[in-house]
Structures are given as structure tokens and as C-alpha cells.
Copies of this chain bind each other. A is one copy, B any other.
């Protein structure tokens, strides 16, 4: 393939160098010109007359919003303690240097510049929100708590909360002290350093056999995509690179273990795919232990409990990577408690079907920090059935059904999803074909509507789509011609890398395993990066780390 395309490229170049170089020069020149000539005033004061939009966070949800928001309509301020966006799907790659850390992030300020967004960025953490007076309190995270200049207030007309979530430890003891998460760039750096330190230590003559075995036992807690991808990357790193530069015996001591509480890895994926992944891991020497919980993590040991037999065992480890999912951030819980009953007993910031935070009118919650809660229509069935307005002759005609939908679509977004399929639906559920929906027929119909509202997974895909949705909503706020449909999630499938240039892909339509999924993943992810710079850097990294190996210096 390579040779074929090389000679085709040769023919092409021989035939048309003038055109290529002409085009390259012109487009390159134009690109450089616009890049260099744009004058950008971050210090231009915000004009007074525009409503103020404050965005909290610089993750998937916030950045997707920012890339689409119309900065001519709002004075936009962004608050986040981290002045860059992390492209999380490639984060597992950075733990072993398949991709360099700094290539998997994008500077917020540079993204704003690139998208020509006259927004202000503040490197601070939102610590409090005054929902009544529309103000966010932000803290300079680099200052000490008692510094009077630590915090400042940002008033808002519109507020978007996109703070993401914390790692969930299920209160397992020792996790914060002795395990490493895999959520931030710092986590990825710490993991890489630890892997290399352990190999170097294992190579010393003073290290005992037993210690070598401990140092080179890598335990991954959680068989979700993050855990699976990290195991796959670690396997590749050891087999492609470390085994070349370290004594062969290191390989002898090496052990990679994935511990999963459920009965298989990749629970959110198709069963076939999970099976394929486990078989692949078996071939690659990665041990998968299912139906087992971790009950404690120590500096050098980890405790397992078999979910069925309740038997407990202790194992030495050199590194524990904890990837078992997420929980609500304390700061978000603080916001929730301020909203009182509207957020009572909720496990995350509850938003309605249009992503407005419950209890507010001008505050939106998107991404991992929020969860959509819609009242089930089914619970209202009896009270509806008593309303003379709709129910005639013991049932709903198509007209009264239409009226019912029109009257209730604001409160019950599920009805919005029915869109222009009302006639179809009515016919479908009118099983008696008497142009009248009986109570039991109507129940079936609203059950179908309810089923459209399922809890969305905490993924970048959801976060990005929600960010884009709120951007469009805000861009058209007050525009009466623009009716606001509730947020509808469009699942484009999930990838997981499983090692040695193979991946799996699961969508409603297509399931893929192997090399094709690997290339699909790379292509799909590359297309999602905000800047050409990152695309270029990551392509370059993938190519070079494949052909010339990953670096093994402990920097």
C-alpha cells in the first residue's frame, strides 16, 4: 500500500508540480496572512449594553458552547482554574507517550483567538453562586485562603455551569493516598513517571525478586473504556518499547490486571464486543478479573473481594489506576443546596429537558455535572384522564390529542420529541382503529414518549452536544420565530482502544472490531480536535511513536 501510493504520488508530482506549488503558496500565504493580521483586544472593555454571559468550566461542554456562541450578542466571561481544554479521548495515550501530553490539550485563550471570540478568560475557580442577585464568586486558586484579594465577583444575566465531575472512589480507603486517577493531564503525567520509575527500580541490582514482582504489577480498577484503554496502552508500551530497552527479565515479572465489579468489561458496549476485548486481553497477557471489588488500596498492596464468595485477598502492586466512574463535585453540591427543594435529594445538578437548572430561569447545566430530570407522563395519567377538556366519549380524538400535546409540551419535553409524528403515533396506538384512544391505548403511547428520556451517559459526546445546544439556545434567545426544542442526544457510537492497533466500535447501527475500528477511532477523534495545530501534532505523534517507538526518559 505504502509503495503504491508513493509511486502514484510520484506521478502526480511529476505531472503537476506547478499547480501544487502555486496552490500551496497561495493558500499557505493566505492562511499565514489572516493568522498574523488579526488584531485581538482582550483588554477592550465589554460594552455596557450587552447581557453578560458567564461560563463556568473549560471542558468538553464549555468549549463546545464557546465555539458556537455569538460573542456579538453577549459579553462572555469564562471561569476555570485550568486554562486549557483536555481532549480526554486521547488522554490514555499520553500516559505512555503514544501522544505527547501537550498535544492532547488546547489553550483556551488560543482557541478563543482562533475562533475570533471576544470573550474574557479568568483563571479562577467558581466557589459560590448568588442565584438571587445573579452573581458568581470566583477565587484565585494561586492565592492563600486569607488573602483579601483572593476572590472577585462576576455578575451575570445568563450563567452556564459546566464544571464536570469528580472521580468516584466509593469511599474506598486509601484511594486518594495511594492510587492515581486518570482524568487530568497531571494524572497522565504521574502515571507515566510511575511506570518508568518502577521499571528503572526493578532493573537495579539491589531490588529483590519479590519487589520486582510488586513493582511491575499494574492494577487497573474499573473495566470501563478508560480502564480498558489504559491497559491496552500499557501493554503496547511494555511490549513495543520497554522490553527493548530493559532487561528481558522485566517482562517475566510484568503483570497487568483489570479488576471489574460487574461480570464483564465495557459494560456499556455490546456483549460480543466485550467478549472480543476480553479474548484480546487474554492473548496479550492482560488479566481481567470480573465480579470483584476493591476494598482498600495501600502503598504497596491492594485488597480484593470476590463479589460472589465474599472472599478477600491482598495483592502487591506497583501502581493502581482508579477509573471507576464519577460523582458530583462538592462545589456543585453547594450550588444545589442553595437552590433548596428544587434540587433536593438529587445526585447531580438537575436540569429540565431544555437544560435549564431546576429552580432557575437563566442558569443552565451541561456536561458531566448535570442530569436531565423529566417527570414521567405516566404518573399523570389518572389526573389527565379526568380532564373533560381532552377526554370525550371515554377517549381522545386526534384533535383533543393534538390539543393535549400543545398544552403540555412546555412542561413535558417528551411530548416535544414526538414532533410531527403525532398522526403516525395516534394511528399506531389506536389498536381498535376507532379514531379514539382508550385509556390503555393512551398509556402505551405516553410510555413510548417517556422512553425517549433516558439518563444520558457522562461522555464527551453528550457534553459537546449539550454545549452546542445551549449556544444555539442563547444565540436565539428572545427570537420569537425560533421555537426551542428540548435537547435531543444523537449517539454517534463509542470507540475503545484494546491494544496492538486494534479497537472496538459500538453504535446502534454498526459494530466494529480490530484494525478498521482503530483507524476509525483515529480519524473520528482527529476530526473532533478544535485546531489544525492539534490535528497536525497528533498525527505526527501517532506516526512517529508507531515507527520509532515511544520515549522512555523519565521527565
The chain A residues found within 8 Å of chain B, CB to CB, are 3, 6-7, 9-11, 13-14, 17-18, 21, 25, 32, 35, 40-43, 82-84, 100-102, 105-110, 113, 121-124, 140, 142, 149-152, 185, 196-197, 200-201, 203-208, 211, 244-249, 533, 540, 544, 547-549, 551-555
Other A-B contacts than A42-B248, A149-B206, A151-B206, 11 sampled, CB-CB below 8 A, are: A42-B247, A83-B552, A84-B555, A100-B100, A102-B555, A105-B555, A110-B245, A110-B549, A113-B245, A123-B554, A140-B201
* A32 nearest CB neighbor, chain B only: B547
How far apart are A125's CB and chain B's nearest CB, in angstroms? 12
Q: What is the total number of copies of this protein in its complex? A: 2
CB pairs A–B below 8 angstroms (23 shown): A3-B25, A6-B21, A11-B17, A35-B548, A40-B244, A40-B245, A41-B247, A43-B249, A84-B554, A102-B551, A105-B555, A109-B246, A110-B245, A110-B552, A110-B553, A122-B205, A140-B201, A140-B204, A140-B206, A142-B201, A151-B206, A152-B204, A185-B555
Decide if A553 touches B105 in the complex (CB within 8 Å): yes
Residue of B nearest to A41 (CB): B248
Q: Is the CB of A244 within 8 A of B113?
A: yes
Distance A124 CA – B203 CA, assembled complex (angstroms): 11
Most B CB atoms within 10 A — which of A100, A197, A540, A548?
A: A548
- A109: chain B residues at CB < 8 Å are 245-246, 552
**Known contacts A3-B25, A149-B207, A205-B152; is A42 also within 8 Å of B246 by CB?**
yes
Contacts A18-B10, A100-B102, A113-B245 given; does A124 touch B551 at CB 8 Å: no
What's the least CB distance linking A541 to chain B, in Å?
A: 11
Residue numbers in B under 8 Å from A142 (CB-CB)? 197, 201
Please state if B100 and A204 are interface contacts (CB–CB under 8 Å): no
Q: Is the CB of A6 within 8 A of B35?
A: no
CA–CA, A176 and B152, complex, Å: 33
The residue in chain B whose Cβ has the minimal distance to the Cβ of A39 is B244
A345 CB to nearest B CB, Å: 36
**A169 → chain B, closest Cβ, in Å?**
25
- For residue A113, which residues in chain B have a CB less than 8 angstroms away from its CB? 244-245
Q: Are the C-beta atoms of A101 and B201 separated by less than 8 Å?
A: no
Question: A258 → chain B, closest Cβ, in Å?
Answer: 26
- The smallest beta-carbon distance between A96 and chain B, in angstroms, is 13
Q: From A15, which residue of chain B is reached at the shortest CB distance?
A: B14
Verify B100–A553 contact, CB threshold 8 A.
no
